[in-house]
Amino acid sequence: TCGFVAIVGRPNVGKSTLMNRVLGQKISITSRRPQTTRHQVMGIKTVNEAQFIYVDTPGIHILGRDRNKAINRFMNQAATQALRDVDCVVFIIDRTRWTEEDQIVLQRLEHVEAPVILAVNKVDRLEDKSTLLPWLAEVGARREFAAIIPLSAKHGTNVPELEAEVAKHL
């Protein structure tokens, strides 16, 4: 069997870092600068008999005044296309920070039928850990998520738990 997993989120939330962590190699470029990933990066992970195809989707986040630039239109189309036939979506956000761009990504996911797992990334940098639980409840009410998993893509914390959740939807 084989499953498609799309990784979505606004720039800088840690999509490429998560993908590299899951695949155990530096397949996708990570950077402090937003929009480093200009093209769609795919990676395949084989676990026993199953193959997971991960897609790091740039473009879904291209917003604002550059929205109509040809390159951005193209990337948005590629991102939307990538969501059409996936088995599972991992929507990443940065800790308890929620921006207009996160909201727009969430809107884009409205018509996605595949299960969406919310990954609350960078918890290693959470200033006040007591804000996490109330936040998980709050953000969890914004749509039906298959699961909500706080993690650190950079350090690997809870990433196996995310992978186990993804595996349920293969």
By a kind-dependent CB cut-off of 5 to 8 A, residue 169 interacts, out of ligand GDP, Mg ion, none, with none
CB 136 within 8 A of CB 158: no
Q: Which stretch binds Mg ion (CB under 5 A): 33-41, 61-69, 95-103, 137-145?
A: 33-41
Long-range Cβ pairs for the range 112-115 (8 Å, 24+): 112/83, 112/86, 114/83, 114/86, 114/87, 114/88, 114/89, 114/169, 115/88, 115/89, 115/146, 115/169
Give 15: exposed, middle or buried? Use CB within 10 Å, 0-12, 13-18, 19+.
buried
* Binding residue for Mg ion, selected from 12, 16, 121, 152, defined by CB under 5 A: 16
State which of positions 111-150 bind ligand GDP (CB under 6 A): 121-122, 124-125
Nearer to ligand GDP, 2 or 66 (CB): 66
Among residues 95, 124, 113, the alpha carbon closest in space to that of 6 is found at 113
17 binds Mg ion (CB under 5 A): no
* Binding residue for ligand GDP, selected from 2, 25, 31, 134, defined by CB under 6 A: 31
Nearer to Mg ion, 15 or 21 (CB): 15
Among residues 38, 32, 39, 41, the alpha carbon closest in space to that of 14 is found at 32
> How far apart are CB 9 and ligand GDP at their closest, in Å?
6
> How far apart are CB 11 and Mg ion at their closest, in Å?
7
Nearer to ligand GDP, 2 or 99 (CB): 99
Which chain residues interact with ligand GDP by CB under 6 A? 9, 11-17, 30-32, 36-37, 121-122, 124-125, 152-154
